Amino acid sequence: MSENHQQILLNLFFFKFDFVARPSNELFELEKKYEIDPWFEFMKRLQQYPEDDPTHLKGTSILDWTQNPDVAIYFANECRGGEGALWILDATATGKTLQIIKVEEILKR
């Protein structure tokens, strides 16, 4: 993939998640009650269920992250007709950024 192609995809991603699609008010209310990250939950739902994405750019084009191996296996194999792969990562290797900063703050950076 060329650098220009990557830039275009990245710009579309940020346009989608800054201007076109946002978490619902319900997710922001759940943030107050359960301290969830509404942007993370929103992107997770769109990636796992791209058919529910109201935009023309279905899904997220990001990796699916979960802390539950059963959930990972389910979504890795859902509607799969051929071989696939499941990667396991030591989350401590990512540092604190992915563990303490909310997605909205990452998008702003």
Residue matched to tokens 């076109």: 20
- Rounded Cα–Cα distance for residues 104 and 81 (Å): 35
Check if the beta carbon of residue 51 is closer than 8 Å to that of residue 78. no
pTM greater than 0.75: no
pLDDT band of residue 82 (cuts 50, 70, 90) is: confident
SS (H, E, C) 28-84: HHHHHHHCCCHHHHHHHHHHHCHHHCCCCCCCCCCCCCCCCHHHHHHHHHCCCCCCC
- Rounded Cα–Cα distance for residues 99 and 92 (Å): 9
Q: What is the pLDDT of residues 46-64, one digit of tens each?
A: 877 888 887 877 776 666 6
